[in-house]
Homo-oligomer: A and B are copies of this chain.
Amino acid sequence: MRIEIICTGDEVLSGQTVNTNYSYISQKLIDVGLEVRWGTTIGDDRETLLQAFRLAAGRVDAVIVNGGLGPTIDDLSQEVAAQAAGVELVFSQEWFGKMEELFRKRSRVMPPNNRKQAMLPQGAELLDNPIGTACGFALDIGKTRFFFTPGVPRELHRMLDEQIIPRLLAKSGQQTVSFLKRFHSYGLGESHVDSLLAGVEALVPDGSLKLGFRAHYPQLETKLAVRGTDTEDIRRKLAPVEQEVRKRLGNFILAEDDQKLEGVILEELTRREASLAVVETFTGGAIAARIASLPGAEKVFRRGIVARELAEIYADVGLHEYPVTGELTAATAKTVARATRHRIGTTHVLAVLIELDEGADRIDFGGTILIAIATEKETVSRRSRILGGREWVRLGAVEMSLDCLRRYLQGLPVDERIDFEKV
Binding site for B on A (CB under 8 A): 5, 7, 10-20, 22-27, 30, 36-44, 48, 51, 55, 59, 70-74, 105-108, 111-114, 130-131, 152, 180, 189-192, 194-195, 210-215, 217, 225, 278, 280, 282-293, 295, 297-298, 301-309, 312, 316, 361, 363-364, 387-390, 394, 419-423
Contacts and interface: CB of A to CB of B under 8 A. Distances in A.
A212 B312 contact: no
Nearest to A19: B19
Given A74-B212, A304-B284, A364-B105, A114 B191 contact: yes
A302 B293 contact: no
A309 B22 CA distance: 41
Contact of A293 (B7, B17, B282, B423): B282
Given A20-B18, A190-B71, A297-B308, A289 B289 contact: yes
B38 A22 contact: no
8 contacts: A10-B225, A15-B26, A40-B40, A74-B213, A113-B191, A284-B304, A292-B308, A293-B390
Contact of A106 (B297, B309, B387): B387
Contact of A14 (B19, B30, B301): B30
A2 to B, nearest CB: 10
Nearest to A45: B37
A320 to B, nearest CB: 18
Nearest to A24: B15
A46 B14 CA distance: 27
A152 B363 CA distance: 16
Contacts of A215: 70, 152
A55 B130 CA distance: 38
B289 A286 contact: yes
A289 B293 CA distance: 14
Contact of A15 (B13, B22, B51, B394): B22
Counted per complex, copies of this chain come to: 2
Given A10-B225, A15-B26, A301-B307, 8 more contacts: A18-B18, A37-B42, A105-B387, A111-B189, A111-B191, A284-B293, A297-B308, A304-B304
A180 to B, nearest CB: 8
A18 B14 contact: no
B212 A10 contact: yes
Contacts of A180: 16
Nearest to A55: B55
Given A287-B285, A302-B312, A304-B307, A72 B191 contact: yes
A55 B58 CA distance: 13
Given A105-B364, A285-B286, A308-B292, A40 B39 contact: yes
A23 B30 contact: no
A304 B292 contact: no
A214 B420 CA distance: 34
Given A18-B20, A40-B38, A70 B302 contact: no
B42 A13 contact: no
A107 B387 contact: yes
A315 to B, nearest CB: 10
A303 B303 contact: no
B72 A190 contact: yes
A388 B289 CA distance: 20
A40 B41 contact: yes
